[in-house]
Amino acid sequence: MKSRKVRDDLRERALSALSKPSTYGLDIDLSRFTASLGSDIMDIESYTDAMLSVGVDPEERGRGGSYYQIDNVAAYSSSRYKGLIVKPISEALEDESILEYYWKAVPVDLDKYTATAFLYEKDGYYIEVKDRVEIPIPVQACILLKSPSLIQVPHNIVVVGEGSKLHLITGCTVARENPGVHIGISEFYVKKNGLLTFTMIHSWSKGMHIRPRTIVYVEDGGIFISQYISTSLVDSIQSYPTIHLVGENSSSHLSSIIIGRGSSHIDIGGAIELKAPGSTGEVTSRVISMDESRITSRGRISGFIRGVKGHIECRGLILSENSSIYAIPELEAKAYDVQLTHEAAVGRIAEEEIIYLMAKGFTEDEARSMIIRGFLQPKIPIPLPRQLVDYLSMAMEKIAYAL
């Protein structure tokens, strides 16, 4: 079978990369963790609160489809719209047509994390929207880690057809405070004039190390918008999604909202490669450091052809003298007449802003909360479904008041 040959070739490449560290971030000794299927108990109802905390509604209210996974095994999937496919990748692989997308965007030998993800791969979600189908309400996915010291390796593939629209919310979390590693492989493909809005919400715990690997290809007139939110305690995160704008007049917007707590070591970023005429990209980040956390915020935009446009905006807020933020914007021009810009600012809450608001009748705590709330507001370039806008607004309010 063709699939067997493909997997044999991938396995050889993966084995060659098992000791290859990531270019960025803290290096993790994966031998301290267990690679297995994990729990065989698929009782989703026991994790309602955890799912709700990352924007996933177990009752599927206002959702067009769902996928739930516990440890490394799919627990549930559903689709409520014709032309929308939501299924475990293990099931999707029964049709060899998926090989067109399988490990085609993310190199299996990128580093030891991608290699490990392939070698122990079991499930993840496969979501496809057929051509000229618009899903009016968000589709959701929840990847939950239950078993301690587990390496969780979901492999996700999303295909948005020509002229189609999909809003996807993925929530990743833990059932309880556990040590573990989460390596999420995501390969996204946006076809001609398609739209994919991807919101990823992470809620982890002390002892967790997070290593998502995401690569996206966008064709003519396609749009990819990503929002990444991580505000919980975690030992380390290293993520650097890369978007390839290969179609004329394609565009992408990457935004992240990160709060460093405890002694978290967070290296977060994103890259957009402008490879086609009329392509545009924007990378924005809002990071807050607390306690003894260390945050590196990266952004890179590369212009490969004349006339493309890109912008990076990185803002950081330091709330602790023992924490740190490093902002690293990068612009790369490989053609004449590209328009690439960036701005970065890191600092603390200005006393004059607090004094001004207190003069208006607010307490000092209320003034600080208002400033943080305004700082965290995500920048969204296009209208989104009401359910998603409402959730993001409530999430930012809750975070601001908790700080």
Q: Are residues 216 and 271 in the same domain?
A: yes
| Residue ending a domain, choose from 316, 339, 355 | 355
pLDDT at 306 over 80: yes
Q: What is the pLDDT of residue 396?
A: 61
Q: Specify the DSSP class assigned to residue 134.
A: B
Residue type, 360: K
Q: Calculate mean pLDDT across residues 346-357.
A: 77
Specify whether 269 is located in the same domain as 204. Answer: yes
**347 lies in the same domain as 367:** no
Together in a domain, 341 and 279: yes
Same domain assignment for residues 337 and 379: no
Average pLDDT of the chain?
90
pLDDT at 14: 96
Residues 150 and 280 both lie in one domain:
yes
Q: Are residues 301 and 387 in the same domain?
A: no
- Do residues 260 and 374 share a domain? no
Q: What tens digit of pLDDT does each residue of 26-61 get? A: 999 999 999 877 666 667 778 898 898 888 999 999
Share of the chain above pLDDT 90, in %: 74
pLDDT(402) > 80: no
Per the structure, how many domains does the chain have?
2
Q: What share of the chain is helix, strand, coil (3-state, %, to 5)?
A: 20, 40, 40
Contacts of 38 (CB under 8 A, 6+ apart): 70, 71, 72, 73, 145, 146, 147, 150, 152
Same domain, 351 and 378: no
**Do 244 and 117 lie in a common domain?**
yes
Q: Check whether 350 has a pLDDT greater than 90.
A: no
Q: What are phi and psi for residue 299, nearest 5 degrees?
A: -155, 135
Given 355, 372, 392, the domain boundary residue is 355
Mapping DSSP to helix (H, G, I), strand (E, B) and coil, where does residue 140 land?
Answer: strand
Cβ–Cβ under 8 Å, residues 179 and 208: yes
Query: Domain check: are 254 and 152 in the same one?
Result: yes
Among 355, 371, 388, give the residue marking a domain's end: 355
User: Between helices 364-376 and 386-402, what is the axis angle to 10°?
Assistant: 140
How far apart CA 320 and CA 337 sit, in angstroms, is 42
pTM across the whole model: 0.92
Structural domain of 369: 356-403
Q: Is the pLDDT of residue 3 over 80?
A: no
* pLDDT tens digits, 54-107: 889 999 999 999 999 999 999 999 999 999 999 999 999 999 999 999 999 999
Average pLDDT of span 235-250: 98
CA 342 to chain centre: 22
Same domain, yes or no, for 315 and 360?
A: no
